[in-house]
Structure 1
């Protein structure tokens, strides 16, 4: 608990948690969008979310070295602003007529933003904790990030599902149904909920 008296550590943990809340729902909701609204099967829906990881894969190592060279604050802050831009794009431009390349662009921007944020944020937290408490700091960061991911799903699911029949939702996620079987009102309600979540 004394670690939380350090402002750099505390703010690093808070920002990592908020980033996890913002990010996890994106992947979960996009898979539901691809399977439910666009009627793709689970494998194709999974493949379509690759841009959410691709940018992070490339940028994370670069962000770590940038953070070491120029300080953690700038790359982490730029990363969060990129994530905001990507989320805003998804919120404003996701509908049945949106071409996949648009969605892929927004997913890649979010992914690059997360890559720019995660490495410097982790480094900042570990440096603030000092060598003596790195194990505890790592455990706290993992705990709060996982908690943020769970909260992300808990916050987003009620928003997006309030107008979708539970049977349709269950069928799509269990893999026994692809699409919403032409239920126009459910589809429109889902798209509106998706915009609100993003």
Structure 2
């Protein structure tokens, strides 16, 4: 295999992994009402069909980032792809909603291995001058998966049933595993002698679980209820304990010394805030059209396509600009586009909402996301030494996923908290619930509040992105 072709062959392997992981999320967003109706799920169980995957994936991204730094990325990537494919097959046979939730958590382990190793593999394989192109293609593939995911998910659910949303992942996974075995080179781990920080992982998992559990319950039973208070207390206690553990750990889960570098710290903060603001938009819009406009899953899937088209456009535009302009300028401009899109959704969402304006709002959010992600990711990966890239990417992915899981829980909590008890489940059951005009108005108001909150979160992301400096050559010197 010629050296000049290897980066592109590697990119074809990682693209299949990204395609698999992204399809799994975007297809289920549209299929959720069908799954909930099939299992007659409660509001809390409905939330956890999505949240179980996101939570486990978020925590284990950091675990696997460190393990990959120690033992090498090829084997970890292939194990993750294989496990993800097998569990996807099993998800389609789930006999009840709680078995499905457990399988989703197991599926998240494979997803974490895929996500953790994809960007470092690309970063190691591509020369610095072409890295921006490689990363933008990687994001473009994810964008294509997001584009076809809601449509494919809606089509499969509408014509074949919800189980095919999971079974559809299987052939992609099988192809990816065999192609990866044939293509990927074995690269030794760069952090030999280091150990996994299990105390940090456990405290982080319990703390974040407490927060997500509280957010998933509060829209149904209120802030003063015992389960919500217990979840919030666990979050506070174990978050404090987590920082104490990390401060004293020899090989910490999060290397806080990396955050001494201002561009690195601000880029990661912008990553978290951007993910927190925009991650739930596809889910919210897909549910909105099924609940308020009584659309079937396939039609609803078509109506969330603009956001992923926007990500594709943004990724294509920015790929060639990363060598000409600073990460601060490109990332901040991207977030500004997302901000305008959020404002449009807040203004235009409603009963019989204009498909054009809702589409333009989604398109702007997508373009802004595509423009933001590539230079921001490149800034993070090139700011750290080679041997710390696995953990640096793990931190970036963890913050992005943490933003996504909190975004999902927070968004659904805001929408359901303004509704009377008899309407709370209607958010998840789609066209299966008959609504009178007063009920619909309440749901629309909840959506407006959500998008307004996301607008302000994007403003904070803009501030974080702008406050980094524009030095693209900064590299942290980390003692080993």
Which among 408, 432, 441 is matched to residue 188 of structure 1?
A: 441
Deviation at 1:168, TM superposition (A): 2.2
Deviates more, 1:112-121 or 1:92-101: 92-101
| Aligned match of 2:24 | none
Matches within 5 A, 1:96-135: 96-135=351-390
Deviation at 1:183, TM superposition (A): 2.5
SS at match of 1:109: helix
Q: Whole-Å Cα distance in 1 between the matches of residues 350 and 432 of structure 2?
A: 14
Q: For structure 2, which runs of at least 5 residues remain unmatched after alignment?
A: 1-254, 452-480
Q: Whole-Å Cα distance in 2 between the matches of residues 180 and 102 of structure 1?
A: 26
Q: Which is higher, the Rg of structure 1 or of structure 2? A: 2
Q: Runs (4+) of structure 1 moved beyond 6 Å?
A: none
The one-character-per-residue Cα deviations of 1:80-109 (angstroms, maximum 9, x if unpaired) are 011000000000111123221111111101
Deviation at 1:154, TM superposition (A): 1.5
Q: Whole-Å Cα distance in 2 between the matches of residues 23 and 142 of structure 1?
A: 15
Matches within 5 A, 1:24-173: 24-162=279-417, 163=419, 165-172=423-430
Please report the TM-score for the alignment, with normalisation by the length of structure 1: 0.92
The one-character-per-residue Cα deviations of 1:129-154 (angstroms, maximum 9, x if unpaired) are 13332221111111110110001011
The one-character-per-residue Cα deviations of 1:3-57 (angstroms, maximum 9, x if unpaired) are 1221111111110011001111211111111100111011111111011101111
Distance 1:13 1:34, change over 3 A: same
| Aligned match of 1:18 | 273
Q: Whole-Å Cα distance in 2 between the matches of residues 154 and 192 of structure 1?
A: 18
* Native 8 Å contact 1:3 1:129 kept in 2: yes
* Native 8 Å contact 1:51 1:107 kept in 2: yes
Q: For structure 1, which runs of at least 5 residues remain unmatched after alignment?
A: 173-177
| Aligned match of 1:3 | 258
SS at match of 1:69: coil
| Aligned match of 2:10 | none
Q: Whole-Å Cα distance in 2 between the matches of residues 179 and 104 of structure 1?
A: 25
Q: Whole-Å Cα distance in 2 between the matches of residues 59 and 167 of structure 1?
A: 36
* Native 8 Å contact 1:61 1:119 kept in 2: no
SS at match of 1:121: helix
Please report the TM-score for the alignment, with normalisation by the length of structure 2: 0.39
Q: Whole-Å Cα distance in 2 between the matches of residues 29 and 167 of structure 1?
A: 14
* Native 8 Å contact 2:310 2:364 kept in 1: yes
Q: Whole-Å Cα distance in 2 between the matches of residues 193 and 68 of structure 1?
A: 42
Tell which has more relative contact order, 1 or 2 (C-alpha 8 A, sep 6+). 1
| Aligned match of 2:450 | 197
Q: Whole-Å Cα distance in 2 between the matches of residues 179 and 64 of structure 1?
A: 43
Q: Whole-Å Cα distance in 1 between the matches of residues 330 and 425 of structure 2?
A: 44
Deviates more, 1:2-11 or 1:56-65: 56-65
* Native 8 Å contact 1:51 1:108 kept in 2: yes
* Native 8 Å contact 1:55 1:109 kept in 2: yes
